[in-house]
Amino acid sequence: MKSAQRGFTLIELMVSLVLGLLVVGAAGSLFLSNRKVYGNTESVNRIQENQRSAYEMLARDVREAGGNPCTRNVVNMLDTSKPGGSYYTGWLDGISGADGTGANGSDEITLSQANGAAINVTGNDTPSANIDVTSTTGLADNDIVMVCNSEVAAIFQATSLPSGSSIQHNSGSGTPGNLAKPFQIDQKAFDNSVGGTNAPGYCFLPPATGANPNCLNPPSGSPAQVVKPYAVRWYLAANTRGGTSLYRQVVTNGGASVQTAGEIAEGVTGMQISYKVGTTANYVDASAVTAAQWKLVTAVRAQLRFQAVQGALSSNDIKGTDNANLTRTLDDYIVLRNHMDIQ
């Protein structure tokens, strides 16, 4: 009976406890190691996802810089002596940039576009103050708009929207206002125009019969459209979570209407933008591009630096082997479609 009732000795119990602790320690170490690997992998995945979304949207805007539904021959009819009119002098270049104006000394880039929803023109067979359109939905008095066909595009101010089916473009009123009522076929002709009420101008659609002697040239007969030109500004700024993010902001009406900036990607700590001018081999900073050279920019190099952000992860999950936050830097080279000559 005594032999059958014998238990573990103290030494046996201590040995078993040590062996158990070794097993638990090994399992715990393996768990912590796997947890660290999972956290780091999740952090890198988030960085890569932010990179994909940021570069996809930025590249789309850069490629479309200077674009409109019709032509590259754009005339600015606005009064350039006023801020709203002079804004579109640079807008016609399609692209501009600034060095070191954003968070952490990052660069910013502004891209001009006119590729939104279009309104069809139904009549413009005389250089009068009205363009007949299918609708004026989405427009308001004093909006800056663009009318274009396959030959020419003109930026002007809609001084009134009579009857909901026409756009008026009178001169002598509004801010910035139109320098002249008749449209011109190129910027030089417009600058030299006397701009009177009955002065010759460009007609975007041919008359149903005959021809109007006040039309500068026989219109092309191609479809004409009205769109709203705007600009997109990309920059880095502080977010509400103690870090920095990449933002996209839409500006319309010569800078008079500024939309709330949209946060595109968080954890972006740096953005450097450089430009290829014409056929030169090198990319240069914005400060090296003269005012006359912006229209000659053919490609953009965008370098963004991303840093892991904690979010729902632990502070150790976003750190690498050097105990610093995980970072990734990516370069992208983007060609401007509307600045490239067709060979």
Mean local confidence (pLDDT), 143-172: 91
Which of the four pLDDT bands, split at 50, 70 and 90, describes residue 57?
very high
Nearest to 289 by CA among 156, 95, 155: 95
pLDDT tens readout for residues 260-291? 999 999 889 999 999 999 989 899 999 999 99
Cα–Cα distance, 232 to 250 (Å, whole number): 5
What is the token pair recorded at 58? Answer: 């930025």
| pLDDT, position 13 | 79
Residue 20 or residue 304, greater confidence? 304
- Alpha helices of the chain — where are they, by DSSP H? 10-63, 83-91, 187-192
The answer to whether 110 touches 96, Cβ cutoff 8 Å, is yes
Q: Is the peptide bond before 176 cis (omega within 30 degrees of 0)?
A: yes
H and E: helices and strands count for the chain: 3, 16
296 half-sphere exposure, CB direction, 13 A CA radius: 13
* Pair 338, 64: CB distance under 8 Å: yes
Type of residue numbered 84 = G
Task: Give this prediction's pTM.
Answer: 0.82
39 CB-side CA count, 13 A:
21
Residue 75 phi/psi, 5° resolution?
-115, 130
Tell me, what's the pLDDT at 290? 95
At which residue do the structure tokens 């066909």 appear?
149
> What is the DSSP code (8-state) at residue 181?
S
Using alpha carbons, list the distances in angstroms from residue 28 to 2, 20, 33, 35, 188. Answer: 40, 12, 8, 10, 78
Higher pLDDT, 50 or 33: 50
Query: Average pLDDT, stretch 53-79?
Result: 90
| C-alpha distances in Å from residue 328, one per residue of 48, 72, 110, 268 | 8, 38, 24, 10
First CA to last CA across the chain, in angstroms? 105
Computed over every residue of the chain, the mean pLDDT equals 85
Choose among 195, 192, 152, 162: nearest CA to 177: 195
Between 32 and 285, name the one with better pLDDT: 285
Report the C-alpha gap between 197 and 169 in whole angstroms: 12
Q: What is the pLDDT of residue 319?
A: 72
Q: What percent of the chain has pLDDT over 90?
A: 42
What pLDDT, on the 0 to 100 scale, is given for residue 63?
93
What's the pLDDT score for residue 4?
Answer: 61
**How many Cβ atoms are within 10 Å of 130's Cβ, its own excluded?**
18
- Tell me what pLDDT residue 315 has: 67
Check if the beta carbon of residue 65 is closer than 8 Å to that of residue 111. Answer: yes
Residues 6+ apart with CB under 8 A from 79: 85, 176, 177, 178, 179
Radius of gyration for the chain, computed over Cα atoms and rounded to the nearest angstrom: 31
pLDDT in tens, 67-108: 888 888 888 889 888 878 888 888 889 999 999 999 999 999
pLDDT of residue 175: 87
